[in-house]
Copies of this chain bind each other. A is one copy, B any other.
Amino acid sequence: MTTPKRRLPVMADVAREAGVSHQTVSRVLNDHPNVRADTRARVEAAITRLGYRRNLVARALVTKRSRTLGVVSFDTTLYGPASTIYGIEQAARTAGYFVSMVSLKTIDADSVRDAIDYLAEQGVDGVVVVAPQLSASRALESLPAGLPAVAVEGTQHEADVSVVCIDQSAGAKLATRHLLELGHETVWHVSGPPDWMETEGRLEGWRAALEEAGRPVPEPLTGDWSPRAGYEAGKSLASMDGVTAVFAGNDQMALGVLRALSELGVRVPEQISVVGFDDIPESEFFSPPLTTVRQDFDVVGRHCIEVLLRQIDVEASAYERLVVRPGFVVRSSTGPCP
């Protein structure tokens, strides 16, 4: 057992123990080539003997690199953000970076700006902003000078930052066309909350797919991503005439729709077909298993880090825009028009 009050060993202690200068210790730690093999061995022995760990804070002070990335996100309890962040964290750690997190509960330009400032003060080398709302994205227009940043956005919208996004519109088209191909006259939509980029992108793709097929575009129902909102929407839809196909803005709302329809005795997919968006792990086991658009959040997370590191490492690199294409999974919640 070590004496409790003894302070942690520092580089000078290792140097003394190994009979060299602190600079040589530094060289060994940083794999500098010009160190004789036996010296290196002596230093390494001293390091393990003392249980020395380098102080990254001191190092960050002089190198001006903290090797920490900041992540600003909104409601990390949702599957999408949670998965994206997971991907980000894995990729960052693989690249030797720490991840410092801020999850917001209210999302407006000010709180996003505050969060970024907070992280900047801490000395992060760059930030990823997972803020899928239009209002929040305005915060990206006034980044602290010289802070590398990447935004995860829901839609392709020009901006002065690098962006990684999933093509929401393409996903919505996939869903809508699938339903049209099954013979449905048109497709109803339960959208996400206004102001979200995902909502806009999905609305736009859905509308475009209907229009290009020359079909009527029904008034969309507005939800808030929650199963409850889907449930309410489902009840409305069931009471309307001629509804045979529903494209829900996400899987959770699709679950709500399914629940409402089931309660009202409407059979899926025999009477109404339902498609979701996200492909959460549960959706394969809904009743019935949900046909849905697949988003690969993991890939998004990895891309974020790639783009961000490029921006950190190469001086004045251009803004990048990376669009990930969604996939489509057909299960049992969709069928031919009755």
Is residue A56 contacting chain B, with contact meaning CB distance below 8 A?
Answer: yes
Q: Are B285 and A56 in contact (CB under 8 A)?
A: no
Complex CA gap A128/B4 in Å reads 22
Known interface pairs A76-B86, A77-B86, A259-B287. Does A282 touch B227 (Cβ–Cβ under 8 Å)? yes
Which residues on B sit within 8 Å (CB–CB) of A284?
Answer: 227-228
**Stretch of A12-20, A101-109, A131-139, A180-188 that contacts chain B:** A101-109
Q: Are A123 and B93 in contact (CB under 8 A)?
A: no
Complex CA gap A329/B285 in Å reads 22
A145 CB, nearest partner CB in chain B, Å: 6
Is residue A122 contacting chain B, with contact meaning CB distance below 8 A?
Answer: yes
Q: Are A55 and B123 in contact (CB under 8 A)?
A: yes
0/1 interface trace, chain A 229-265, chain B, CB 8 Å (1 if under): 0110000000000000000000010011011001000
Interface of A is mostly: helix
Is residue A159 contacting chain B, with contact meaning CB distance below 8 A?
Answer: no
Known interface pairs A226-B281, A256-B285, A285-B255. Does A77 touch B82 (Cβ–Cβ under 8 Å)? yes
Chain A interface size range? 35 or more
Q: Using a CB–CB distance below 8 Å, which chain A residues touch chain B?
A: 2, 4, 53-58, 60-61, 66, 68, 75-77, 79, 82-83, 85-86, 89-90, 93, 98-103, 105, 117-123, 144-146, 226-228, 230-231, 252, 255-256, 258-259, 262, 281-282, 284-287, 289
The 8 Å CB contact of A281, one of B103, B144, B252, is B252
The 5 A-B residue pairs whose C-beta atoms are closest, nearest first, are: A227-B285, A259-B285, A287-B287, A57-B123, A82-B82
Q: Are B89 and A101 in contact (CB under 8 A)?
A: yes
Q: Are B86 and A103 in contact (CB under 8 A)?
A: yes
Which residues on B sit within 8 Å (CB–CB) of A77?
Answer: 79, 82-83, 86
Q: Are A285 and B228 in contact (CB under 8 A)?
A: yes
Complex CA gap A119/B120 in Å reads 19
A189 CB, nearest partner CB in chain B, Å: 19
